[in-house]
Structure 1
Amino acid sequence: MPKNLVIVESPAKAKTIQKYLGEDFRVESSFGHIADLPKKNMGIDISNNFEPIYEISPDKKEVVAKLRRLSKEASVVWLASDEDREGEAIAWHLYQQLGLKANETKRIVFNEITKKAILNAIENPREIDENLVNAQQARRILDRLVGFEMSPVLWKKVKPGLSAGRVQSVAVRLIVEREKEILDFTPENSFKVTGDFQLKSGEIFSAHLNHDFEDFSSLRKFIEKCQSAEFSVGEIDKKLGKRNPSAPFTTSTLQQEASRKLGFSVTRTMRVAQQLYESGLITYMRTDSVNLSSEAISAASHYIEENFGKEYKQVRKYTSKTKGAQEAHEAIRPTNLRMEQGGADASQQRLYDLIWKRTIASQMAEAKLEKTTIDVDMSNQKKHVFRGKGEVVLFDGFLRVYQESTDDDEMVQPKGMTILPPMEKGDVLIPNSILGLEKFTRHPARYSEASLVKKLEELGIGRPSTYAPTISTIQKRKYVEIVNLEGEKRKLKAIRLEKQKIKEFTENETFGADKRKLKPTDVGIVVNDFLVNYFKNIMDYQFTAKVEEDFDEIAAGKEDWFKILDEFYGSFHKNVTDVEENADRATGERLLGKDPETGKNVYARIGRYGAMVQIGETEKEEKPKFSGLNPNQNISTITLEEALKLFELPKDLGEYKKEPVSVNVGRYGPYVKFGEKYISLPKDLDPNEVNLVQAQEVIDAKLKEEAPIAEYEGKEVTKGTGRFGPFIKWNNWFINVSKKYDFDNLSSKDIKELIEAKKKKENEKIVKVFEKEGIRIEKARWKRHNIIQGKTKVEVAKDVDVLNMTLEEAQKILATKTTKKSANKKTKKTKK
């Protein structure tokens, strides 16, 4: 039996580390946290210095039992969880729950999973850092207090089933405030002028007028002047410039750049980075440090000199600007910089490539540029000039490897270089084309996941480990959604001078289009407004950042975590009580106008099941009429006309295949009802505008999707595509079809293989089913079995052979349970 037990958080990490240690070591995984606050109650003894009441997670009991047994058999237990606060808390919980002894336990940390790093950690163990543990506990407890006390207030005052969170609520506030800026934005127009000028050599370059016109008539007068003007090269200004590489990746900058360059969501970036880390390919991926170790700098320098030359090498040491940077002591980098490619799949390879290039580029020389500005003079106009700009790369430096994407709150490719043709002052220019075009100012950009991370970091809200779960949580709670907006069309006035002729025309422009941006839902807006109104402290950006600084102080051993919690909770709890007793109910109600038929008021508001419109008052005896909103509608922008259209539903469209067809909107959006079938309408179809022909197309598509493609064991097999991808349906089972199958051309062999695999899997869970009597025998979590009929569930004794049980035997066991219930009821009545 190995003398040493090493415990890490994940099986993948355990597998990698086991390769580096000898037979004297056994590496096991705790599968993350083994203990936490209970799910069903607060789990905090507030009167006893906020003492947390931890319990082993039900799904971790077997893991803990195994680790407890192995730890007793080992001479030394090495707690090797991650080096951040969460990792330290995991180590502390393992120490407590496994009943470890101080003289037989060692805490080790490492920034990368390489043989050298692991062996170095073994040689330099330390004790569990109580300060880091306390900082994690303080965060967990404070967030639990906020969630458990604020959420019930939302249930009463807004809508059942809602929840609140300290960091999440502030993130939603940022998104809501940006959306309100967009709704309040009024675009302003102006007219910009661009000219294409030709030199005697025949080369053409573009230049922009250094003045915008406020109205079309002023623009036309200027274009008319251009018609009779002579043009020549004016002042030429050349300046030498330089561009420096970006610092190596932190968690935040990796998330932003992976979004821009690779199109990865924040959650996907962290998942793939975790895989690379656990495979030993990159250093720890939760960090706000930009520092590189001297070893990494040396390795990068050698690589650059060997592959690009001495002139490309420039040693750089970066320091973190983030206040309280503490999660790890080094930036995210490859563990082996000579390894240009890495990763087990396409996602890992692309992210590794990004990290490798950024790291190498950070140690390369600056790029040297020549920036040129050329003025174009007009013979009859001295006030305004056309100006052309370009730049030439004299020495590419780090640009040879990598260039950071520009951040315009969206995925943008790196800027290219505009090269101007050679020319001298006084050279004659021929105006090939001069275009005056109307332009409108753009509303502030909605946040993408990446730009939201950047904003949270700028405000000091959250830390590297919190960004991804925060953004994921606000989407799961339906406060925010990722949208792709097609935009609207508008006509732009334009005028062009070409070949000495002036022509006026219009151009079409799409505005308001957005791709993968965060937009608040109606519920998100109402919840945010309620919280901002009644919980000003919790929703304040500076207060939230101050709380993060307090956690940093606790981690550094400079603050008492009980004191921080006590100072927070006193005023917070009083605030919750006041709001619960005195606050008005929040519905986001907006009066749209009056219904012309009844004269009653029409409102848009949040109801029990979400956004809705209402005709009439809830206080009156006569019950109001309600209707849900379409997916593309919201209570802040819906008009009276649009609202009244919703009450035209349900609408009968006629008959198809001798079945009635109607259209309506339900809890899950618009649908067509065909006989007894409910079929969702595609997003591009307005339920109020759908006709019978369009409905027939939707019905036919659904019927085709549900048509049997085969028969197996006398039961039909159908196929379809759901939220988890393609599937086949058989015997009321939905069976996922993996990429190894050709979904469009499934053979009989494929279908048999898929069904038999599912049967095998299901048989492990459901041992036997007595269909006629509605009785089933299921495998329980701890290798026991239950007999279930309706709401009655009976645990079967271990000595009962469930595999060979008859229906009569199952009924007897169920009858025993029923008899016991009746007996208990009679006993209670007698006692009364």
Structure 2
Amino acid sequence: MADSLVIVESPAKAKTIGKYLGSKYIVKASMGHIRDLPKSQIGVEVENGFNPKYITIRGKGSVLKELKDASKKVKHVFLAADPDREGEAIAWHLAHYLELNEKETCRVVFNEITKQAVKDAFKNPRPINMDLVNAQQARRILDRLVGYKISPLLWKKVKKGLSAGRVQSVAVKLINDRENEIEDFVPEEYWSITAKLQHKGLTFDAKYYSLRGEKRELAKEADVQEVLAAMKGLPFNVSEVKEKERLRNPAPPFITSSLQQEAARKLGFRASKTMSVAQQLYEGVELGKEGTVGLITYMRTDSTRISPVAQEEAQAYISEKYGAEFWPEQPRVYVKKNSNAQDAHEAIRPTSILRDPESMKPFLSRDQLRLYKLVWERFTSSQMSSAVLDTMTVDLKAGETVFRASGSKVKFPGFMKVYVEGNDDGTVEEHKFLPALALGEEIKPEAIEPKQHFTQPPPRYSEARLVRTLEELGIGRPSTYAPTLETIQKRGYVAMEEKKFMPTELGELVIQLMEEFFPEILDAEFTANMEGNLDHVEEGTEDWVKVLANFYESFEKRLEVAEEEMKEIEIQDEVSDELCEKCGRHLVYKMGRFGKFLACSGFPDCRNTKPIVKDIGVACPKCSEGKIIERRSKKGRIFYGCDQYPGCDFVSWDKPTGKPCPKCEAMLVEKRNRNGVRLQCVSCDYSEEVLDEDHEEQA
């Protein structure tokens, strides 16, 4: 008969842990948080030491009754929520509800859900860590004060339904500032000159490097003509050859932010999807005879630490699978990138390197397998030897000019045999080696190609780029990135266009007001310092009430000034020429989560809405009357369909070009990938690469 109750957050986690613990333990799920601040009021007694007024979350009554009843039938209750601040707070709330003594050993934590890790954790239960709880409480109260104090002000002065948040406001400002940079950007002309050379059957490129011993930029066509004149059509002579060996080290194992970035680059996952799939892998997957097993370690972490046990297993696996030379002389230790990184957890890694992706294929969904493969390969490569590259740089003289060619080849692949980190531009590193060239050797060019370029504005933020920027600035923590990105879209402050963030008019207006009256909320350094203060609370070196009091002292004064000086702004809806087909009134432009849409001006009497359609100038290939228009799915994804729908049901996720395939005359569509755009026939295998402005060479 069971004598212990174990409470976790989710049924999946409960199922996995229950199999490991046996019949003496009952394992139940709290279904996440059980108490929170009320939605209808601020719920914080500011004048009474920022005392929070928690209430039971609506709908949790039956779950809590079940937990209460179960707790009365056992000798021990163990709280096994996730091993972070939020998990500690959940455990504390459960202890409060179940009338447990938080100072007794009722808290159990584990970084991975494997049989050994879980059993070891239950051998070492501990009291609830109130420093962790208070750090979570301070963050929750801080965000509540900002949101519930500024939002009513915005409702009163601007428009109902607006809100302001601490971390989300900084994220929106970054997106807004980037858009301003793009709008203010003035392209600058520059040129390049490429010499196409051939030697012993091998073709290679050399780029213009200097003129008359001076490195001079080619800013205009006249500069190019001066270089060409100085060459006088002369052959190239090899003037210098440099060969050396270069080591390339692997990327560290994943932390939360780098996992989200790499999953976006290589898998096209949104941050929320990455965390959802990672949660499934962490909580456990059914592996046939092996039962339910957690496949990765805890996925909310900013530590790159790896346990010695995991490294020993990795050494044995890598040495056997790839050879002893693929294991470095000393196990790799990665320095914390962020000085505020918490080292309580390990990096994100497979719970066993022996479960390679191929062996997991029968048990995982497509998305689970793709993310698991990413985690497995990143961890495995992070423990391997450095790659060794042979590099060669050659200077070639033609008259008074010098052209330079560079090449490399992999001498020893090391970690690159398993995995190479992606980048935000989606480019793939190519290793091209130069032919054997001797000093003084003469080479005749096949072609000299001058090319005009223009500098490009900075790119808009993708999810991956924004997460990286927030991390670099010290804004937010592992658990906050995904919900922050979701929130700023739900509020209608930003919209996604081709997987890039753009500020909406509403977002620009809110940031403008925040900059005027609450500049510290938008100040990245201020927000980063606040994160540091919360870390000090977690470490037990800072009092959480004092942290809140220091913030609120100046914040309260800002509120008083804003209440007096912020002018009321009436946002007028832009009226369209279209009439509502339901009531005959004019439709107006509104801003939603996925950009602008049309709504009836008679709202709330008439709730008719319709998307804004964009004619792409292509005739429908299926019917003779329709035109192809751009539409959005319910989830905001762009697709293309006939404007005669439902009379014509043509639909395509890829943008039709209106051009016929030169091979079979079927329709060509644009296929976008990380390397650019190509035209693809919908019927045969014809395809061709096309120029895409997002992948133009940048200065």
**TM exceeds 0.5?**
yes
CA contact (8 A) 1:79 1:105 kept: no
Residue 267 of structure 1 is matched in structure 2 by 272
Residue 303 of structure 2 is matched in structure 1 by 289
Match of 1:563 among 534, 538, 546: 546
Q: Which amino acid aligns with 1:548?
A: E
Residue 202 of structure 1 is matched in structure 2 by 201
Measured in 1, the distance between the counterparts of 2:615 and 2:256 equals 38
CA spacing shift, 1:108–1:530, aligned 2, 3 Å: same
TM norm structure 1: 0.69
- Measure how far apart 1:165 and its partner are: 0.3
1:299 and 2:227 correspond: no
Measured in 2, the distance between the counterparts of 1:518 and 1:685 equals 22
CA contact (8 A) 1:361 1:402 kept: yes
3-state DSSP class of the match of 1:434?
A: strand
Moved more, 224-233 or 314-323: 224-233
CA contact (8 A) 2:190 2:452 kept: yes
CA spacing shift, 1:156–1:703, aligned 2, 3 Å: farther
CA spacing shift, 1:281–1:233, aligned 2, 3 Å: same
- Measure how far apart 1:372 and its partner are: 0.6
Alignment of 1:527-538 (within 5 A): 527-538=510-521
3-state DSSP class of the match of 1:523?
A: helix
Residue 318 of structure 1 is matched in structure 2 by 334
CA spacing shift, 1:685–1:437, aligned 2, 3 Å: closer
Residue 111 of structure 2 is matched in structure 1 by 111
Residue 684 of structure 1 is matched in structure 2 by 615
Q: Which amino acid aligns with 1:120?
A: D
3-state DSSP class of the match of 2:644?
A: helix
Q: Which amino acid aligns with 2:406?
A: K
Match of 1:452 among 427, 447, 466: 466
Residue 417 of structure 2 is matched in structure 1 by 400
1:702 and 2:646 correspond: yes
RMSD: 2.9
Measured in 1, the distance between the counterparts of 2:585 and 2:445 equals 62
Match of 1:525 among 502, 505, 508: 508
Residue 659 of structure 2 is matched in structure 1 by none
CA spacing shift, 1:671–1:550, aligned 2, 3 Å: closer
Deviations 1:544-566 (A, max 9, x none): 11111111111111111111111
- Measure how far apart 1:569 and its partner are: 1.2
Residue 238 of structure 2 is matched in structure 1 by 233
Whose relative contact order is higher, 1 or 2, with alpha carbons under 8 Å and at least 6 apart?
Answer: 2
CA spacing shift, 1:695–1:89, aligned 2, 3 Å: closer
CA contact (8 A) 1:77 1:104 kept: no
- Measure how far apart 1:671 and its partner are: 9.5
Deviations 1:567-610 (A, max 9, x none): 211221221121011122457xxxxxxxxxxxxxxxxxx43x5x
3-state DSSP class of the match of 1:242?
A: strand
Residue 251 of structure 1 is matched in structure 2 by 256
- Measure how far apart 1:324 and its partner are: 2.5
Residue 161 of structure 1 is matched in structure 2 by 161
CA contact (8 A) 2:103 2:127 kept: no
Measured in 1, the distance between the counterparts of 2:238 and 2:585 equals 70
Moved more, 50-59 or 223-232: 223-232
Match of 1:422 among 417, 429, 436: 436
Moved more, 352-361 or 416-425: 416-425
Measured in 2, the distance between the counterparts of 1:286 and 1:249 equals 10
- Measure how far apart 1:685 and its partner are: 5.8
CA spacing shift, 1:426–1:102, aligned 2, 3 Å: closer
Deviations 1:740-771 (A, max 9, x none): xxxxxxxxxxxxxxxxxxxxxxxxxxxxxxxx
Bigger-Rg structure (1/2): 1
Measured in 2, the distance between the counterparts of 1:431 and 1:523 equals 57
CA contact (8 A) 1:679 1:699 kept: no
Q: Which amino acid aligns with 1:273?
A: A
Residue 188 of structure 1 is matched in structure 2 by 188
3-state DSSP class of the match of 1:580?
A: helix
CA spacing shift, 1:138–1:664, aligned 2, 3 Å: closer
Alignment of 1:119-134 (within 5 A): 119-134=119-134
3-state DSSP class of the match of 1:453?
A: helix
Measured in 1, the distance between the counterparts of 2:103 and 2:414 equals 54
CA contact (8 A) 1:75 1:104 kept: no
Measured in 1, the distance between the counterparts of 2:612 and 2:323 equals 61
- Measure how far apart 1:202 and its partner are: 2.7
- Measure how far apart 1:359 and its partner are: 0.9
CA contact (8 A) 2:240 2:394 kept: yes
- Measure how far apart 1:295 and its partner are: 0.2
Deviations 1:699-757 (A, max 9, x none): 63134569xxxxxxxxxxxxx999xxxxxxxxxxxxxxxxxxxxxxxxxxxxxxxxxxx
CA contact (8 A) 2:102 2:128 kept: no
Moved more, 231-240 or 88-97: 231-240
Identity rate of aligned residues, in percent? Answer: 46
3-state DSSP class of the match of 2:614?
A: coil
Measured in 1, the distance between the counterparts of 2:43 and 2:579 equals 52
Measured in 1, the distance between the counterparts of 2:314 and 2:127 equals 33
CA spacing shift, 1:208–1:51, aligned 2, 3 Å: same
Count of residues in Structure 1 that have an aligned counterpart in Structure 2 = 603
Match of 2:408 among 370, 379, 391: 391
TM norm structure 2: 0.82
Residue 579 of structure 1 is matched in structure 2 by 562
Measured in 2, the distance between the counterparts of 1:565 and 1:103 equals 25
Residue 388 of structure 2 is matched in structure 1 by 368
- Measure how far apart 1:223 and its partner are: 3.2
3-state DSSP class of the match of 2:195?
A: strand
CA spacing shift, 1:115–1:679, aligned 2, 3 Å: closer
3-state DSSP class of the match of 1:164?
A: coil
Match of 1:332 among 340, 345, 348: 348
CA spacing shift, 1:193–1:544, aligned 2, 3 Å: same
Which ranges of structure 1 fall in alignment gaps of 5 or more residues?
485-515, 588-605, 613-626, 629-648, 653-658, 687-691, 707-719, 723-832
Residue 9 of structure 1 is matched in structure 2 by 9
CA spacing shift, 1:681–1:88, aligned 2, 3 Å: closer
- Measure how far apart 1:102 and its partner are: 5.6
CA contact (8 A) 1:111 1:328 kept: no
Measured in 1, the distance between the counterparts of 2:139 and 2:405 equals 55
Measured in 1, the distance between the counterparts of 2:470 and 2:608 equals 46
